[in-house]
Structure 1
C-alpha cells in the first residue's frame, strides 16, 4: 500500500503534464500539434489562382492595400474600416473590449501583409482592384441601434457585382450578401491567420492556430506546418474559419457548401528597413518575436517584441508584419525577419441572380456569442477530452462572475463548491488512511513474522484490512476521481477568453497568465506541504522524505501555470487542511 500511494501521486504529476502533451500527439480535443511537415509542391488539380496569390503576397507592396476610398464603421463592440475598391474588403477590425498583450491599444484582427477578409477572387481578374461605388462613407451604431447596411456596386461590360454588408450593434457578426452576374465563377477569401496576432507563440500544447471547418458532425483542423500548397475540404462544409487561442474569423454560408479550401504558405525571409524617426532596434536580437508596423513606403514605423502591443493606424496604408528576428543591422537600419506561416480560407461563391448569403464573425471565441449563430461554431472553444466536465464548471464560474464581477472570487467559490462535492469521498479516504495508520503496528508485526513468505504475508495483511473494514486503495481513489476536474480546469484557465486579462486583486492582473512574482505558486507549495504534514501516512521514513519533495516539484511546475489555476489549487489545499484538522480531532469510530 505504501508504494501505491507514492505511485498514485507520481502518476498524478504525469497526468498534469503528460496528458496535455499526449493530446497534442493524438489529436485529442483540439489539434495541438505544430510539428514540422515537409513542404509540399502545388498539387495538380488545385485552382490556378492559389499559386498566384502566394507569389503575390511575398511582395512588400502590401496585397490588398486599403489606400483609396474607405468606409468607417463604429459599433459598441468594434471599429472597422472597409475598402471600397474590391467591394468592401475589411482592412481594419479593432475589438474595443480587448486589448493587446502588454498594451492599452485594442486588439486588431486585420492588418498584415496579406489578403484582406471578404476579398473577391475572380479567375483572370484582380478582384481586390475592381472599382466599386458605395452608398455611404460611414456607419455608426450606438447601443441598441437597429442594423445598418452598406451597398457596394461594380458594373462593366464584363459583369456586374453587388454586395450588401449589414452591421449589428450588439454582435461581432456581419451579414454579407453578394450577387454576381457575368462572371462564370468566383470565391470569397476569409483572409488569413496573419490578422490574429494574439498569443501565437504562447507555447501551450493545447493551443491551435490555423484554419478549421465543420463537415457533417466532424470538426476538421489543419496544421500550419503544411508548407506551400492547398487542401480542398472533402464534402460540404457548414462553415469555415481561421482561429487562434482567443479569436476567430468564421464564415457561415446559408447552406453547407462544397469546395471550401485551405491554402498554406511556409514562413519566408524578408528585409525590413526603418523609417526616418523610427525607434532604435539595438535591443533586438536574433530569435526575438517581432511585431512591426510598416508604412506605405514599406519602412518600419514601430516595433515591439509583444504581440498586439503595436497596431496600424485606423486609416491609411500602414500594415503589420509578425514573425521573429533572424538578423539585426542597427548601423544600416535593417531587420531580417522570418514571417510566420500563413493559412487562408477560401469559400466558393454562387453566381446568379439570387444573393449569395454569408454570415461572417470576426471576434472573440466566446461560446455564448458563437452559439447564437446556430451553426455549432462554438465547437471551436474546445476544452479537450474532458469538455463534458469542463463546460459545467465553466458555466458555474461565469454565473458566479455575473454576481460578483470578479473571476478570482468566482474561482474561489467554484473551488469551495467542488470541495463540497468531493467532501464525502475525501472524508472517507482520510478516515481510511487514519485507520491504516492505527493498524501500522500490526502490519509491521506481520511483515516481521512472515518476512520469508510473501504470499502468506499478503494474505494476512488483507485479512486485517477486511476485519477492520479498511480499503487499501481508499487513499488513492479520491485523487484519481478529481484528476479529470483538474485537467478540465487547466484547459478553462488556459483557453477561455473570459479569463484573458481578467484581474483578481493586488498584483494579479491576468488570471490566464502566470503569477509574475511567484507569490501564488509559493503559497500553493507551502499549503501543500502543510496538508501533507496533516495527512495520516503509513509510508516508511525514506518514502516520507521523498513525499516532502513533491511540494517543491509542484511549486516549480506551477510557476508557469495560469494564476487562476494556481489560485484554485491553493484554495483547495487550504480547504483540505481544514478538513484534515477536523478529521484528526474527531474521535475514532
Structure 2
C-alpha cells in the first residue's frame, strides 16, 4: 500500500513539475530570445530640468534621418550621426553586432531619432534664468565634418544676447562620447546656469526584467549600484525618482546594451529617472548652478556611453575612473564567483576558438578541482553502505519510537564516523557553478550568437532542434513544456546512466525519485541555453568516468551498485 502511495505521489510531482515549471522558470530564469532592438525616448524641455514629453505621430526611420543637417559618426565600433537640430545624438548603430544569427541580419541599432517607432537619443544642455537658452529646435553650427576618434566636432550657438554656447564632442575607439560644454558670457550682466545631460527613450525592451536579470533604469550613486527602479515603478508610482550623489552615473541597461550618462566624477549631481506621457521614459542629471560674471566662461565635461556591455571594455572604463561601471552587467549575488568563471571561460574561448569546446574544457577544470570532494563523497557512501545492516536493525527495533530511533542513529553515525550529508556536498558546490554559468551565458555579450557544432548556432539560446516537430520538418512549434531538443534528451539519458551507477537507495520513495529525476530534468532543462546543457551533459559523462574509477577504490560500493 505504501509503495502505491509513493508511486502516486511521484506521478503527481512529475506532472506538477512538467506543467508548472515553465511558469516558474519564465520568472526566475528568463531564457534567451531573439535579440531585442533597444528602444528609444522622449525629448527634453528647453529651459528647465529635462523632462520626458509625449510622442506624436510615428515617423519612418529613413524619413527622420533624412531631415535636417547631420554630422556623421564613424569609429571601429560605432556608426551614425548627430542631428544639428537640437544637438541631439540620435543615430547610433553597432556595426560589429547583428540582430540575429542570419547572415543578412541588420546591425544592432541603439539610438533612433525622436518620433520614430523605437526612438532613443541623448543630449546635453543648460538650464538657467535670465538668459535665452538653446532648446530642441535650436540649429547649431558645426566646426568639423565628421566625428571620429581622431577628429572631434564642436557645435556652437550664439543666443544674440551676449552668451555663446559650445559643445565639443569627441569619441574614443569603443563606445564613449565626451561632451565638453562651454558657456561664454559676453553680456553686461551675471547669469546663473547649470549643465545637464539626458537619455530619453520610447517604450521598454522586449527582454523581461526579473529578479535574476535587471533591465531598465540603473545607476551608481555614492559608490553603490542601484537596480531598484523599474519601468513599472515609474508607471505605477511617482513619475520621477531622484538621487543625490557625488560622482556616479545613470542610464538604461538592456540585456546586452547600455546607454549611460557619466557626469564629472568630482561634482555633486542630481540624477533622475522620469516617466512622460504614454510610454516615454528618461534618465537625466544636472550639476549645481554656477553664477557666471560678464567676460567669464565656464567649461564642464560629461560623457555618454552608448554601446555593448563588453566585460573587458566596462572594466577598462572602471579602471579609468568610472565607479562600478562593470555593474552595468547585473552579476547578482554570486558576483565574486561569476567573474572568475567568466574570465576562465573567455580565456579558454580565446585560445580554443569554439565556445562549446571552451565549455567542455571548463567542465573538465571544474571536475578536476572537485575530484578530492568526490573522493570523500564516495568514501562516505561506502561507509554508509557498510553500516546499513546496523541501521536496519535500529529501524526495526525502534520502529514505534521515532525520537529514540533518531537518537540511536546519531550515536551510530558518531561511533562509525559516518557523515550522512557528505554525499550532498558536491551537489551544493555545483549550484553556484551552475548559476554562475547560467548568468554568464545569459548576460555577457561575449557569449551571444556563439556557435558550437552542427545545428547549434547559438549557445546562449535554447536548442532549436525539437524532437516533436521532427527537427523543424513538421510545420508547428510544440508548447514550451514539450519543446524537447536533442541536447535535453542527451541530458536525460546521461543522467539516467549516471544514476544507474549509484547504489540502490534504502528508502523506496527515494529510489523512485531517483528513477524519474533524469526525465524530469530533461523537461526542466529543455528551454535553457544550449550551453548550459552542454555543460551538464559533459559533467554527467565525466561523473560516470569518475564513478567507474572510484568504484575500483571502494569495492564494497561497487558490489552494492551491482
- Please report how far the alpha carbon of residue 441 of structure 1 lies from its aligned counterpart in structure 2 after TM superposition: 3.2
1:134 to 142, 145, 153: 142
How big is each residue's C-alpha offset from its partner over 1:491-523, in whole Å with a ceiling of 9 and x where there is no partner?
Answer: 111111111111222212222111112121211
Of the candidates 232, 242, 249, which is equivalent to residue 242 of structure 2? Answer: 232
Q: Which residue of 2 aligns with 1:395?
A: 343
Deviation at 1:164, TM superposition (A): 0.8
The 5 Å alignment of 1:81-480 reads 81-87=81-87, 89-101=88-100, 104-111=105-112, 113=115, 114=119, 116-120=121-125, 122=127, 127-139=135-147, 147-158=150-161, 159-168=163-172, 170-181=173-184, 184-185=192-193, 187-194=195-202, 200-202=206-208, 205-221=211-227, 222-225=229-232, 226-227=234-235, 229-254=239-264, 255-265=266-276, 268=278, 341-348=279-286, 353-373=297-317, 374-375=321-322, 376-480=324-428
Provide closer, same or farther for how the CA distance between residues 219 and 256 of structure 1 changes in structure 2, counting only shifts above 3 A.
farther
C-alpha distance in 2, partners of 1:189/1:207? 27
Judged with a 3 Å threshold, the aligned counterparts in structure 2 of structure 1 residues 111 and 510 are, in CA distance, closer, same or farther, namely: same
1:372 aligned counterpart, secondary structure: helix
Distance 2:522 2:267 in 1: 49
| TM score, norm. by length of structure 2 | 0.76
Match 2:507 to one of 512, 536, 540: 540
**Cα 1:553–1:187 shift into 2, 3 Å:** farther
How far 1:389 moved relative to its partner?
Answer: 1.1
In structure 2, the CA distance between the partners of 1:436 and 1:244, relative to structure 1 (3 Å rule), is same
Superposed, 1:496-511 pairs within 5 Å as 496-511=444-459
Contact 2:196 / 2:284 at 8 angstroms: preserved in 1?
Answer: yes
Residue 245 (structure 1) shift: 0.9
| Deviation of 1:22 (Å) | 7.6
Q: Residue 49 of structure 1: CA displacement?
A: 5.2
Instruction: Give the drift of 1:456.
Output: 4.0
Deviations 1:98-132 (A, max 9, x none): 11135521111101534621153656756221121
| CA positional deviation for 1:81 | 0.8
- Distance in structure 1 (CA, Å) of the matches to 2:51 and 2:492: 56
C-alpha distance in 1 between matches for 2:411 and 2:146: 83
> Matches of 2:154 and 2:50 in 1, distance apart?
31
Give me the TM-score of the superposition, normalised by structure 1. Answer: 0.73
Q: Distance in 2 between matches of 1:262 and 1:562?
A: 33
**More moved, 349-358 vs 469-478:** 349-358
Query: Quick one: distance in 2 between partners of 1:462 and 1:538?
Result: 19
Cα deviation digits, residues 419-448 of structure 1 (max 9, x gap):
111111122112322332343333223322
CA contact (8 A) 1:83 1:91 kept: yes
Render the CA deviation track for 1:35-85: whole Å, top value 9, x for unaligned.
xxxxxxxxxxx9985797423x34546999552111112221121211122
Structure 1, unmatched stretches of 5+, are 25-45, 142-146, 269-340
1:530–1:65: structure 2 CA closer, same or farther, 3 Å change rule? same
2:453 alignment partner, SS class: coil
Deviation per CA, 1:539-580, whole angstroms, max 9, x where unpaired? 333431222221122111111211111211111111111111
Cα 1:456–1:15 change in 2 (3 A) is: farther
Among residues 502, 525, 534, which one is paired with 1:558 in the alignment? 525
**Residues 497, 193 of structure 1: CA spacing in aligned structure 2 closer, same or farther, 3 A cutoff?**
farther
Q: Give the Å deviation of 1:362.
A: 0.9
Unaligned 5+ segments in structure 2 are: 1-5, 31-44, 186-190, 466-484, 557-562
Count of residue pairs the alignment pairs up: 478
Partner in structure 1 of residue 490 of structure 2: 523
CA RMSD of superposed structures (Å): 3.5
Residue 465 (structure 1) shift: 3.2
Structure 1 position 484, deviation (Å): 1.9
- Farther-moved stretch of structure 1 (446-455 vs 504-513): 446-455
Classify the secondary structure of the residue corresponding to 2:111: coil
| 8 Å Cα contact 2:49-2:286 kept in structure 1 | no
CA distance in 2, matches of 1:448, 1:495: 53
Measure, in 2, the Cα distance between the counterparts of 1:265 and 1:443.
Answer: 69
8 A contact 2:101–2:449 mirrored in 1: no
